[in-house]
Every structure is written in C-alpha cells, then in structure tokens.
Amino acid sequence: MASSTVYKKYQSKCDYSYTLGAFPTIELLKNKPDKVIKILIHPDMDSEEQLDILNELCNKNKIELCKSKAEVERLRDKENIYCIGIFNKYDEKLKDSKGHVVLVNPGDMGNLGTIIRTAIGFGIDDLAIIEPAADIFNPKAVRASMGALFQLRFRRYASFDEYESENKGREFFPFMLKGATDLQMLDKSHVDKYALIFGNEATGLPDEFANKGTSVLIRHEKTIDSLNLSMACGIALYEFTK
C-alpha cells in the first residue's frame, strides 16, 4: 500500500488497522514488523526513551517513521495519543502446539484483549476465533490486549467445523454451564494436545458442544448466573498449564 494513501478513522471493513499509543506500537514493531505500513509521530511526543526505541525499530526494519501532527490528531481517539502504528491486517496458521484457546462468537473487545493477555501469560500462544465475533483488529481490542495481540498466533474461522478440520488430533474441552466434568475433578494427566473452547458472553456455547470431547464446568454458587467469559477462560488456562 503506497504511503500516500489517506488513512481514515478505523472501520472494521478496512484492510489495515492502528495501534494507538507508543506501548502497543512498540509491541507491533517488535513482533510483526513485516505487517507495518508506517509509524506516525506527533511533534508533541516528549518521551526520548520511547522515541529512541521507535527510531531504532523502524531503522532496523526499514519502516517509514513520519512526523505528522495532523494525521495523528485525525486518527487518534484520545488526546494523550502521540504515536500511531498503521499495519496490514493478517491471519496466521495456528501451530500444532500443546494448547489452543478457541473463542466461539466472542462479542466484547475488552474480553478479547484480556483473554489474549492472559493466554500468553500462561504460555498459550494459539488462538482461534469463530466468527461472527468482535473485531480483534479494532484499535480498542489491540489496546485492551496491551499489545499482546502481536505476540500470539490467531486465526479467524467461519465455523467451528472449519477449525476442527484444520486442527486435528487434539482433545476438545468445551466450557459450559451444563459441562459434564467439574474442572477441579478433571484428570488431565493423559491429555496431550488440547483446545479450551468458550462461547459468547451472553449465550455461552450451543448445546451441541456437549458432544465434542469432554465438556467442563467451573463450579460456582447459584448466587451468580455465570462467571464472566475472561474469568472463566483465565481459570481454565491456569488449571491446564499448571
């Protein structure tokens, strides 16, 4: 894409997106330099340390770094944003690693970000998203992940079947309120490769997932309807990566 393109405020139909702020922009440059189109710096940016890192990473990867007050001010969503990374959206093949997280129709960008951060925190670097789903490339989701998005592999699938056919030889653990096995009681000693599967925030997983592998319940009191999605996912990740 020519750098003379006029970039607009983010829309999900764009084939590019933004990192808003120095922190996620540095994570982008460190982890996905080949996806970067260019970096924009506002002249009021005053952190010498961050500027040095940005300059170094751009030089090393031959990425254009432009000072542009007008462009940063047009694209940012908060006044305290002085650095923006523009990058091409991408999809990656998941690795046949030990653990996958599969989110079926996640609806909330904040949850997506928190789950991504927690997943890499527990060493799980492969994420499948079954569409329709919240837009993982929305700058708000990128921000919620605090840049962790660029540290894992993720792939969007049109259906769970598509995920399943592309990722064979893996035990499925759908987390459901009707789960047959209590997470605390689950014997994971024989488990080789696994997929932890979670449904939408409001509706959970469809009933048919009860027949896919071993359905799991995180037991809780009846005082609440359910744990929130990112919490359930974090607890499952903690337990499976012990």
Give the interface size with a copy of itself as a residue count (CB under 8 A).
25
Candidates 32-40, 83-91, 207-215, 217-225 — which segment interacts with a copy of itself by CB under 8 A?
217-225
User: Is position 38 an interface residue for a copy of itself (rule: CB under 8 A)?
Assistant: no
Minimum CB–partner distance for residue 120 and a copy of itself (Å):
5
Helix 48-60 with 22-31: angle, nearest 10 deg: 20
Restricted to residues 85-144, the positions that interact with a copy of itself (CB under 8 A) are 114, 117-118, 120-123
Residue 76, token pair as written in the block: 């940012």
3-state SS assignment for residue 49: helix
Minimum CB–partner distance for residue 20 and a copy of itself (Å):
19
Minimum CB–partner distance for residue 241 and a copy of itself (Å):
9
Q: Could you check whether the bond before residue 174 is cis, i.e. omega within 30 degrees of 0?
A: no
User: Is position 50 an interface residue for a copy of itself (rule: CB under 8 A)?
Assistant: no
User: Is position 14 an interface residue for a copy of itself (rule: CB under 8 A)?
Assistant: no
CA distances (Å), 198 to each of 14, 170, 178, 206, in order?
A: 28, 16, 13, 10
Count of residues for the chain?
242
The secondary structure of 175-232 as a DSSP string is B-TT-SEEGGG---TT--SEEEEE-BTTTBS-GGGGGSS--EE----TTSS---HHHH
Restricted to residues 157-216, the positions that interact with a copy of itself (CB under 8 A) are 184
Binding site for a copy of itself (CB under 8 A): 114, 117-118, 120-123, 146, 148, 151, 184, 218, 220-221, 223-224, 227-228, 230-231, 234-235, 238-239, 242
